[in-house]
Amino acid sequence: MPVASQVPCRLSVILARRAPIGVVFRRASGNWVQLLNWRTGRDTFDEGQWFRCKVDANRSDLSPSGDKLVYFAASYRSRSADRGYGETWTAVSRPPYFTALALWPLGDTWFGGGLFDDDTCLRLNHPAWKAQCHPNHPATGLHVTTDEMYFWDRSPLSERMTRDGWMLRTKVKTIVGGRKIAGTYPQQWEKPDLKARRSLFLHDLNDGLIHHRPFHYSVVYGKTASEIVAFEAEWADWDQAGKLAYASRGKLFRVTFTPRGRSAETREIADFSVARPDPQPAPEWATHW
């Protein structure tokens, strides 16, 4: 029986680099999260699996073709540790399902997750001595290397953003105990559209991450550097066709620009704000390589 959610959900999105598809993490109360496939060319959605676990989308990634997801998860229920998974782990699955094909137990939150360099090459964000697959979840067909991307210095999120065309524009050094540390707070990032006519600015990356609140975005017209639109969102980006989308308060929106590009209109394309967890097993095709 579906379990009622007490609060509106929050959304995170990762877009594939070489296919018109993305994944949406739909987070509800009680550590429930659902995965959905988003077909960005038609703005249609395939609802996938619910999972009662903490899943960190900021340490996750989608393969270029969109057929594999690497994600970082944490569960502090004892039965996970009893099965040899530990309290935290990284897994690879077939979206929109979380069922692990490959899985690497970790046991802490210092690292975790990873990045796809291509469809078969995975950079696992684990120390080399914690890169052993669970015996029931081998990394069949994947070439796996290890990397150590720590939050304050070089995180999976900042690496993914840079890879996908975002540019770090400003950063302020953080002072701890009179000493500058590697982390930056806040961070402003910029990503031009495909024709470099407009730029999307994310103004407060670390501030939003630390305080778990929406980010501040704006779109600027390139020739005049004039602001076209500003908004708060949990996620925003240009899609594979160069169209702007964003997520706010459990809903997805599209932003379209006038022919001259100096004003914008917003329309809602999906409402996931009433999240009702309904855990179901993955279909057979999503349970094996």
Secondary-structure percent of the chain, ordered helix, strand, coil, rounded to 5 = 10, 45, 45
Which regions of 147-213 does DSSP assign to beta strands (E)?
167-176, 179-192, 198-202
| Domain membership of residue 84 as a residue range | 10-286
DSSP 8-state symbol, 136 = T
pLDDT at site 276: 85
Count the helices and strands in the chain (H runs, E runs): 3, 20
pLDDT at site 172: 62
Q: Which of 8, 13, 10, 6 is nearest to 254 (CA)?
A: 13
Q: Which of 209, 233, 245 is nearest to 45 (CA)?
A: 245
Q: CA 102, CA 189: separation in Å to the nearest integer?
A: 33
Domain assignment present for residue 205? The answer is yes
Domain assignment present for residue 30? The answer is yes
Domain assignment present for residue 282? The answer is yes
Contact 17, 66 (CB under 8 A): no
Domain assignment present for residue 5? The answer is no
Domain assignment present for residue 1? The answer is no
| Alpha carbon distances (Å) from 130 to 90, 125, 144, 150, 289 | 11, 10, 13, 15, 23
State if pTM tops 0.85: yes
pLDDT at site 151: 64
- What's the domain count of the chain? 1
Domain assignment present for residue 174? The answer is yes
Domain assignment present for residue 22? The answer is yes
> Per-10-residue mean pLDDT for the chain, 289 residues long?
55 98 94 97 97 95 99 78 80 98 94 97 96 95 93 82 94 53 69 93 78 86 83 96 96 90 88 90 96
Domain assignment present for residue 150? The answer is yes
Q: Where are the alpha helices (DSSP H) in 14-122?
A: 78-82
